[in-house]
Structure 1
Amino acid sequence: MPHDTSRRSVLKAIGGAATVLGIVGTAAGRGNAPIPRFAAFNVENFETGQVQEKGDEHAAAAARVIQEIDPDVLVVNELANNVQEATVDDSVPTDQTNVEAFVDNYLSEPQRKNLEGIKYEYTLQPESNTGLLSEDDYDFNKDGVAGERPDDAFGFGVYPGQYAFGIASRYPFDEDAIRSFQELLWADMPDNLIPLADDDGVDTPEGNIYLTEAELGAFRLSSKTHIDVPFDVDGDTVHGLFSHPTPTGFDGANNFNGRWNHDENRFWADYVSGADYIYDDSGTEGGLSDDASYVLLGDMNAGPGDEPLDPATKYFIENDDFDSRSLPTSPGGAQKGDPDATADFGEFGIAHVDWVLPSPDLSLRSSSVVWPSANANKRGLSDDVTAASDHRLVWADVAPE
C-alpha cells in the first residue's frame, strides 16, 4: 500500500548499525544493562490445566526455551484465556490469569541447572475473539447451523479464549494507554477483501464461506485481538503491537481465511501509518503518531511469498514503516532449506510465520530464531525446542537510538 514519506521511512533509508546473528542467542553474557530484548513464541495450544499447576512437560519445555533467551518483553501465542473460558465452565480457576500462572509455575523457576528463572513483574492477558459468539446467531461458516462453536465464533475456538495470547514484561506499561481493537468490524476497513454472497446466495459454491449483508455489521476483523501496549523502556515509549491472525486454508475456493488473514496483517501497516478509519474498543479514532516507536510481535500466519495474496511481503518486507533489512535466522531452519523459517509443520513443510519486527527508528542490534541444527543438541536444547512447539521462538534486541 502507498505510504507518505515519514520520519520513520527517512530513518530507514538512512540506515543504522545492526549486527544480526544467525545463531541461537542465550541469556549468558547479556551484561548488567542489556539492550531490550523482544520475543514471540507460539507454544501450540497451552490449555489452562497445563499452566495453573506445576509438572506439565510441554509447559516446562517451553519455559526452558524462553529462559535460554531471557527476553524482556514476551508474547506467548496460543495461551488460553482462562477468565473467558470460565464463563462457560465454572470449574476453571481464575485466581490467576494463565499468563501469571505460567510465569509463577514455570518461568520463575529454573528449568535447567545452567538457567535462571525469570520473574516478570508485568503481565497482560487480553480478551480474545476465539470461541466468542455474537449476540445474534449467525451461521458464519455456512454449514446450515447457526450460533455454534467453534466455526460460528468471531474466531475459531471450542470455548471462549482458546488460542488467545498472554504478554509478560520486565518493563512497565500504562494500562490506561493500551489500545485494543477486538471489536473493530472487518467491514469498516476500506478496500477490504471480504468475500460476499452473490445476489441471493443460492449459487455460492459448496464449501465457500462468505458474509451476508447482516453479518457485515457484526463480523470482527481480528480473529483473536489486535492490541497496542506502550512499554516504558528506560524512559522511552516503545509500543508493542500484538496479534495472531487467522491461519489461511480450512475454507473454500473463494479463500475466505486467506483474505481475512491478509486484512488482519494489513491492519498493522494501516495503524502505523496513521490511517483514520481505525477506532479502538474505547472509541478513540486513528492510528499511531508519526514519531512513535514500535515493535510488531507474534505469529502472523503469513510469510514472504505466500500466494496468492502475500500480505507479509506487501505490509512488512516492502513497507518502509518496518525495518525488515535483516530478518532473524537459525541454523536449524537453514539446515532444512530456509534460514528465515520459524516453524516446522512436519509433512506440510517449514514456514516463516512468526515475527519480531521493529520500526526503523529503533536500532536493531541482534536477532535470531531459536532452532539449533540437528547435530547441535547443546545441553538438550534441541529436544526442548521440539517438545515445546511446532513453532520456534523468535527474538530481537532493539533499542531507541
Structure 2
Amino acid sequence: MRRLAAVLLLIHAAGPGWADTLRIATFNTELSRKGPGLLLRDIERGKDPQIAAVTAVIAAARPDVLALQGIDWDYEGRALAALTARLADQGLDYPYHVALQPNSGLPPPAPLDMDGNGKAGEPRDNQGYGRFRGQGGIALLSRLPVGRAGIRDFSALLWRNLPGALLPQHPDGSPFPSPEAQAVQRLSATAHWMVPLQLPDGSRLNVMTFHATPPLFDGPEDRNGLRNRDEIRLWQLLLDGQLGPAPEGPFVIAGDANLDPEHGEGHKAAIRSLLADPRLQDPRPQSPQGGTATVEWQNAGPMRVDYVLASAELTVTGGGVVWPDGPDDPAAIASRHRLVWVDLLLD
C-alpha cells in the first residue's frame, strides 16, 4: 500500500483538481471468471485478493471516467454494481455507467465452426471468445452524466461490412472458415461503443471504448491478426464519416487495442496509423519503471497495448501508467495490464 500511496501523490501532483481537469483512464482488470455469476460471487464475498488489488489501484488513481475491460457482463449488471459499491467503500463514487451486452460468448445465429478447427459450439465459435455470454466484457464508469440516447454501439457491425475489411482466406482464396461463417461474423470481438458524456459546462465529450482481440491463437489464415487490424481501423473510419455521422466535438479513445506499435505480433500499421492521425494526439503516458509499456506478459515481456488518446483540440495536462514496484504491489496482483490515465484541461 505504500507504493499506491506514492502513486496517488504523484498522480495528484500532475494537475489541479476536479474543478480544472478531467482524468480519463483505461484498465484491463482481467477480472473475468470461468463461469457465469462467479465474478459477482467473488466480489460479494470480499475475500478475493485480485479484486481487492483492482479496487485499490482504481481508488489510488481516482479517474473521473474509467473504461474497464475483462469484467464479466450479466443481464442485470449485478457484478458491475457490486464492483462500483466496493469502489464507493473506498470513497470513489461512479453514479453513471454503461454496460451493454458484448459479443464475447455470444453464439452466432446458428451453430457454426467460426474458427476453422472443424468443430462448432466451442468458446471460439462465438462472436467473440467466451465460455458464456458476456465473459470478459467491457464497461464504462463515470462521474459525469451519460447521454444514453446518444450512445452508439457498433458491436453488431458485420466484419465484412467494414469498409476496406481484410477477411481471412483459405490458400485457394475462398472465405475462411466458410462463406456461412463470414456472413454472420461480427467485427468486434468484445464491443465498440461511443458514449457521450456531459461536461460541467454543458458541452459534450465522446468517449470511444473497445477491447480488440489478440492478434494470436490462429493459423496461417491470420484470422485474429486481421480482425485486430480492422477493430482498430474502425475508429478512423468512424471519424471519416464512413460508419454513419462523424462524431462532433472533442473525443477520447480509451481501451485495449491488444497491439504494440513496435513489438510482438499483429498488423502494426493499424495502430501506427491511429497514433499518427492528425485528429488525435498521443500523450504517451509513462511510468518510471516500465516507460510507455502498459502490460507485462510472461513470455512476450512488456508492451504498449492499452491507450488513452485525446482529440487534437483537447489540452492534455498529465498522464501516467500505474506500474508495480514488485510482485507484492497491488498493481501486480490486480492484472498483467496496468491502469493508464490522462488528465484533460476543462475550459
TM-score, length-scaled by structure 1: 0.78
Tell me if the contact between 1:185 and 1:218 (Cα under 8 Å) persists in the aligned partners: yes
Aligned to 2:181: 215
Q: What CA distance in whole angstroms lies between the structure 2 residues aligned with 1:253 and 1:287?
A: 36
The Cα of 1:150 is off from its aligned counterpart by 0.3
Tell me if the contact between 1:302 and 1:311 (Cα under 8 Å) persists in the aligned partners: no
- Aligned partner of 2:274 among 313, 316, 330: 316
Tell me if the contact between 1:193 and 1:263 (Cα under 8 Å) persists in the aligned partners: yes
SS at match of 2:21: coil
Output the aligned Cα RMSD: 2.2
Q: Does 1:101 align with 2:82?
A: yes
The Cα of 1:393 is off from its aligned counterpart by 0.2
> Using a 3 Å threshold, how does the CA distance of structure 1 residues 360 and 134 change in structure 2: closer, same or farther?
same
SS at match of 1:101: helix
Structure 1 residues 2-401: aligned runs within 5 Å: 25-27=10-12, 30-31=16-17, 33-47=19-33, 48=39, 49-83=41-75, 94=76, 96-104=77-85, 106-110=86-90, 117-146=91-120, 148-197=121-170, 210-234=176-200, 235-275=202-242, 278=243, 286-289=244-247, 291-306=248-263, 309-324=267-282, 326-333=283-290, 339-374=291-326, 383-399=329-345
Q: What CA distance in whole angstroms lies between the structure 1 residues aligned with 2:211 and 2:18?
A: 33
Give CA-to-partner distance per residue, 1:30-73, whole Å, 9 cap, x none: 53624010000111133322334433221111111111110000
The Cα of 1:372 is off from its aligned counterpart by 4.5
Tell me if the contact between 2:31 and 2:51 (Cα under 8 Å) persists in the aligned partners: no
The Cα of 1:313 is off from its aligned counterpart by 3.9
SS at match of 1:151: helix
Partner AA of 1:170 in structure 2: R
SS at match of 1:243: strand
The Cα of 1:175 is off from its aligned counterpart by 0.8
Larger Rg: 1
SS at match of 2:31: strand
Q: What CA distance in whole angstroms lies between the structure 1 residues aligned with 2:212 and 2:294?
A: 16
> Using a 3 Å threshold, how does the CA distance of structure 1 residues 141 and 372 change in structure 2: closer, same or farther?
closer
Q: Which runs of 5+ in 2 are unaligned?
A: 1-6, 34-38
Tell me if the contact between 2:23 and 2:342 (Cα under 8 Å) persists in the aligned partners: yes
Partner AA of 2:220 in structure 1: A
The Cα of 1:130 is off from its aligned counterpart by 0.7
The Cα of 1:397 is off from its aligned counterpart by 0.6
Tell me if the contact between 2:54 and 2:334 (Cα under 8 Å) persists in the aligned partners: yes
Tell me if the contact between 1:365 and 1:397 (Cα under 8 Å) persists in the aligned partners: yes
The Cα of 1:100 is off from its aligned counterpart by 1.5
Tell me if the contact between 2:170 and 2:221 (Cα under 8 Å) persists in the aligned partners: no
TM-score, length-scaled by structure 2: 0.89
Following TM superposition, the consecutive aligned residue runs of length 4 or more in structure 1 with deviations greater than 6 angstroms are: none
> Using a 3 Å threshold, how does the CA distance of structure 1 residues 140 and 61 change in structure 2: closer, same or farther?
same
Tell me if the contact between 1:123 and 1:166 (Cα under 8 Å) persists in the aligned partners: yes
- Report the identity percentage: 31
> Using a 3 Å threshold, how does the CA distance of structure 1 residues 224 and 308 change in structure 2: closer, same or farther?
closer
Partner AA of 2:117 in structure 1: D
Give CA-to-partner distance per residue, 1:130-161, whole Å, 9 cap, x none: 11111112111122222x13011000001110
Tell me if the contact between 2:106 and 2:132 (Cα under 8 Å) persists in the aligned partners: yes
SS at match of 2:196: strand
Q: What CA distance in whole angstroms lies between the structure 2 residues aligned with 1:50 and 1:62?
A: 13
Q: What CA distance in whole angstroms lies between the structure 2 residues aligned with 1:341 and 1:200?
A: 37
Tell me if the contact between 2:228 and 2:266 (Cα under 8 Å) persists in the aligned partners: no
Q: Which moved more, 1:191-200 or 1:315-324?
A: 191-200
Q: What CA distance in whole angstroms lies between the structure 2 residues aligned with 1:179 and 1:62?
A: 28
SS at match of 1:166: strand
SS at match of 1:217: helix
Partner AA of 2:67 in structure 1: V
